């Protein structure tokens, strides 16, 4: 476990050392700020972050793959995977360390947007609870997308391939679940809808914290990370 934490620490620090982290951070805050200023901060709009969270889903679709693309693909490309995998560290620790480092960076990305919540609260007429629930939902969603990105990074041998792979995987799943759910006949539409993280996020931003949603996000993330471990272990046999 201490190895996983050490790897997470290194991964987290590398975002700031490598420049990519700053680029992602800037881009995210720019887009999130524009969305907040245009969508929410206008006369007559409800003092809620619901629109921001709805858009946050789309931002995460691009941001999470960008955060996770380096994790394992860059180690493969530069060859540092070899000293890493010959250290007495389990494949699970490697994947978990990479993932936790990315998740910590994701928290840093989201933190400045708390300013928007502060603005709305100072204007008044609103409740902090749905905002907190919304943040929890958005973070869980980001963590799930990050797990998918980590899986793609474990499979790919370049950052670009990892990014595009994760982006297309997430877009495909999103459309399969949401559009597929709209098209499917009665019993199946509910199954498909249940698989759409976006719809679960909507509940959070209404202030509903459903434990089923939390279990869903954690279980799917865990499952994706397990696949990433398998992908990493399979390198030894290729």
Partner 1 sequence: MLVADRLTRSFSGVAAVRDASFEIPRGQIVGFLGPNGAGKTTTMRMLSGFLPPSSGRATIAGFDTVDDSFHARRCVGYLTEANPLYPEMRVRSYLAHRATLYAVPRRERSHSVDRALERCRLADVRRKRIGALSKGYRQRVGLAAAILHKPPVLILDEPTSGLDPAQIAETRALLRELAGEHTVLLSTHILPEVERTCDRVIVIARGRIRADDTPADLLERSHPSPPYIVELRPASGDDPRAEPLDIFRAIRGVASAQVERATPDGWRRLLISAAPDAPDLREAFAHAARDHGFLVRELRRESASLEGLFSRLIERAYEGDAAPEEPSP
Binding positions for partner 1, rule: CB under 8 A: 2-3, 6-7, 10, 14, 17-18, 78-80, 82-90, 236-237
Least distance in Å: CB of 14 to partner 1?
6
Residue 3 or 218: which CB sits closer to partner 1?
3
Residue 101 or 165: which CB sits closer to partner 1?
101
d(C-alpha 108, C-alpha 60), whole Å: 14
Least distance in Å: CB of 41 to partner 1?
38
d(C-alpha 231, C-alpha 153), whole Å: 10
Contact status, residue 61 vs residue 143, Cβ threshold 8 Å: no
d(C-alpha 192, C-alpha 238), whole Å: 35
Least distance in Å: CB of 150 to partner 1?
18
Roughly what angle, to the nearest 10 degrees, separates helices 197-205 and 50-68? 140
Ramachandran class of 58: left when φ > 0, alpha when ψ lies in -120 to 50, beta otherwise: alpha
Residue 104 or 214: which CB sits closer to partner 1?
104
Long-range contacts from 75-80, C-beta under 8 angstroms, 24+ separation: 76/156, 76/157, 76/235, 77/157, 77/158, 77/159
Least distance in Å: CB of 89 to partner 1?
5
Closest CA to 69 of 172, 145, 174, 176: 145
Residue 82 or 210: which CB sits closer to partner 1?
82
Least distance in Å: CB of 112 to partner 1?
24
d(C-alpha 21, C-alpha 125), whole Å: 36
Least distance in Å: CB of 6 to partner 1?
4
Residue 84 or 218: which CB sits closer to partner 1?
84
Least distance in Å: CB of 73 to partner 1?
14
Question: Coil, strand or helix: which one is 32?
Answer: helix
Residue 17 or 190: which CB sits closer to partner 1?
17
Contact status, residue 69 vs residue 159, Cβ threshold 8 Å: yes
In the block, residue with structure tokens 């902090």:
128
Residue 24 or 224: which CB sits closer to partner 1?
24
């Amino acid at each position: 476990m201490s190895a996983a934490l050490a790897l997470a620490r290194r991964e987290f620090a590398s975002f700031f050392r490598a420049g990519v982290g700053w680029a992602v951070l800037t881009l995210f805050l720019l887009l999130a700020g524009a969305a907040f200023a245009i969508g929410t901060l206008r006369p007559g709009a409800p003092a809620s972050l619901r629109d921001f969270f709805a858009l946050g889903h789309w931002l995460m679709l691009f941001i999470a793959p960008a955060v996770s693309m380096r994790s394992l693909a860059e180690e493969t490309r530069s060859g540092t995977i070899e000293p890493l995998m010959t250290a007495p560290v389990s494949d699970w620790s490697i994947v978990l360390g990479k993932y936790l480092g990315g998740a910590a960076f994701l928290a840093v990305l989201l933190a400045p947007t708390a300013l928007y919540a502060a603005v709305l609260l100072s204007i008044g007429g609103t409740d902090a609870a749905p905002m907190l629930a919304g943040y929890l939902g958005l973070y869980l969603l980001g963590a799930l997308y990050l797990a998918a990105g980590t899986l793609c990074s474990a499979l790919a041998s370049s950052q670009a391939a990892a990014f595009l792979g994760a982006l297309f995987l997430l877009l495909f799943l999103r459309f399969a679940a949401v559009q597929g759910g709209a098209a499917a006949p009665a019993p199946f539409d509910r199954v498909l809808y249940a698989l759409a993280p976006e719809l679960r996020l909507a509940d959070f931003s209404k202030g509903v914290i459903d434990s089923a949603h939390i279990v869903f996000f954690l279980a799917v993330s865990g499952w994706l990370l397990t696949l990433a471990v398998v992908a990493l272990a399979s390198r030894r046999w290729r």
